[in-house]
Amino acid sequence: MRHFLLLSILLIGINISAQRGTKVQLVKAGSLKASVYNGKNAQKLTKGVIFKHGDNTMYCNIAYFYNSDNDFDAFGDVRIVDRQGMVIYGDTMHYIGNRALAKIRNNVSMIDKDMTLYTDYLDYFTKSKKAMYFNGGKIVDKDNTLTSVLGYYFSRSKTYHFRRNVVLVNPDYTMYSDTLTFKSKINTAFFNGSTTIISDDNSIFCKEGWYNTGTDQASFNNQALLQNDNQKLWADSLYYDRNIGFGQGFNNVILFDSVKNIIVKGNYAEYYEHGGLSFFTNHSQAIIIDEEKDSLYLHGDTLMLETDTNQEAKTFYVYNHTQFYKSNLQGKCDSLVYYLQDSMLTMYSRPLIWGENSQISGKKIRVYMANGDIDKIYIDTNSFVLQHDSLEYYNQVSGRNMLVHFMDGTMNYVDVLENAQSIYFVREEDSTLSGVNLGASSDMRIEFIPGGVSNIVYLSRVKASLNPVEKLSKRALYLRGFKSYLHWRPRIKEEIFIWEPIND
């Protein structure tokens, strides 16, 4: 029992000592006298006062030392120096020894190697090396100046945490955030909440992410937006390298070009803001916006947008499973190039175009646009145009090359160049079929009206005849190379994502 009581008393003494903390040591004072301050008995110390607590040494001109409470109040040239060389200056300080807490007020500056903190209200835990300001502060280092309403500094990990009206000013950009954590050991700022970064080249917005101030590399998440003079880039997640102007977007990536009035979409993108080829894939789509709300929708497995060094969009490249939709024009091919400056679209590898009830095919097709509508189509090699006349008949034109002219978005006439052949079904005014015109010529022009052919002009070496349908074999009603793909035509813009291979 005696041993138990002795052990209990010892443990209670250890616990009381742990709660009260280590004693604040008075190292030096020029004078000392008994006094009362703030209603408490104190020792008034003056002339070069020095205290020591843990590995911190504290200096002031005047102090009231409450020895029994292990506290003191300090005034005039207040200074704290720790063993690692960090220094804190202020006008006044209340030090609570049992909590190892210094409350420093007015004209406070905290210097830790290359970093200086300025505030009027600083609480500093001398044992854990944690500092907090709560009524506005500014931190300055060789590259950055940061201000916020609230700030926390963890000296051992060199970590800062800031809240409310956070502004980071760098020679290359200014960052505005609600909540920001900066880890100086890795030169990286982490932010949560609405964050905006503004520079001469662009502005960036997100609600979550990080930014390495040493390498100028960053990751932006949650409604990420990168914006420059001509373009805006959105993504669920955006990696960015400011040094080379490179962005990498993941999921729901959208690029809007306000100069060319185009939108590019995909679930993965590589973006170059200072010129080059930006890359979009995974459900990729380009929209050439028309002021009359008749936009052109383009899709391929891969979309590439070429821009010059002035951020001006020049050319679209579309590869693999390419299809496009416009209200009066649809197309399908393997690959496609769209020259934005000339409004010219070139289709490669088994291209097909549909307009109204017509189909156009050839080895290579160029589509020329004017004022957002089709102006003409040039078909290079093995050119073929068919027009659905009825359930069982097709008007047809073939030749080496063709130039199809449009008026108000509809086919007006076709110039067939070399080896021209035609089949068209001649009808009376009441649509009664009167015969089939079979024609051949070196060159010819075919004129169209809504719903059919109005006239054929044979230009040289003409061979033509009008024949009753019943006198012709079924094979004679089709030109060589005839193949209808009208059932594969995209009827709505969403169908450009549905690909059916052409198997002949």
DSSP for 213-262, written as a single string: TTTTEEEEEEEEEEE-SSEEEEEEEEEEETTTTEEEEEEEEEEEETTTTE
- Report pTM: 0.80
Model confidence at 10: pLDDT above 50 = no
State the Cα–Cα distance between residues 490 and 492, nearest whole angstrom.
Answer: 6
> Strand, coil or helix: what is 47?
strand
Model confidence at 15: pLDDT above 60 = no
Percent with pLDDT over 90 in the chain = 59
Mean pLDDT of the chain: 88
| Mean pLDDT, residues 16-37 | 79
DSSP for 352-405, written as a single string: EEEETTEEEE-SEEEEEEETTEEEEEEEEEEEEEEEE-SSS-EEEEEEEEEEEE
With bands split at pLDDT 50, 70 and 90, how would you rate the model's confidence at 504?
A: low
Among candidate residues 304, 292, 356, the one with its CA nearest the CA of residue 330: 356
Residue 326, phi-psi category: left (phi > 0), alpha (psi -120 to 50), beta (remainder)? beta
CA distances from 221 to 235, 360, 402 (A): 8, 45, 51
Condensed to tens digits (0 to 9), the pLDDT of residues 372-391 reads: 788 999 999 999 998 887 77
Walk me through the domains of the chain, giving residue ranges and CATH numbers.
136-215 (2.60.450.10)
Model confidence at 29: pLDDT above 90 = yes
Window from 33-37, 287-291, 362-366 with minimum mean pLDDT? 287-291
Window from 11-25, 85-99, 424-438 with minimum mean pLDDT? 11-25
* pLDDT of 309: 85
| Mean pLDDT, residues 154-163 | 88
| Mean pLDDT, residues 342-359 | 90
* pLDDT of 454: 76
Range of 5-9, 75-79, 327-331, 450-454 with top mean pLDDT: 75-79
* pLDDT of 438: 92
* Higher-scoring residue by pLDDT: 357, 19: 357
The answer for residues whose C-beta is within 8 angstroms of residue 503's C-beta and 6 or more apart is none
Condensed to tens digits (0 to 9), the pLDDT of residues 33-44 reads: 999 998 899 999
Condensed to tens digits (0 to 9), the pLDDT of residues 436-476 reads: 989 899 898 888 777 667 778 888 778 888 999 888 999 99
The answer for residues whose C-beta is within 8 angstroms of residue 179's C-beta and 6 or more apart is 162, 163, 166, 191, 192, 193
Condensed to tens digits (0 to 9), the pLDDT of residues 307-326 reads: 988 888 999 999 999 999 99
Model confidence at 11: pLDDT above 80 = no
Angle (nearest 5°) at CA 295 between 201 and 486: 135
* pLDDT of 140: 92
Condensed to tens digits (0 to 9), the pLDDT of residues 176-235 reads: 999 999 888 898 999 988 999 999 888 999 999 999 988 989 999 999 999 988 899 999
* pLDDT of 6: 35
Condensed to tens digits (0 to 9), the pLDDT of residues 229-261 reads: 889 999 999 999 988 989 999 999 999 999 989
| Mean pLDDT, residues 289-310 | 88
Find out whether 208 and 221 touch, Cβ atoms under 8 Å: yes
State the Cα–Cα distance between residues 216 and 203, nearest whole angstrom.
Answer: 14
Model confidence at 143: pLDDT above 50 = yes
Find out whether 268 and 278 touch, Cβ atoms under 8 Å: no
* Higher-scoring residue by pLDDT: 123, 439: 123
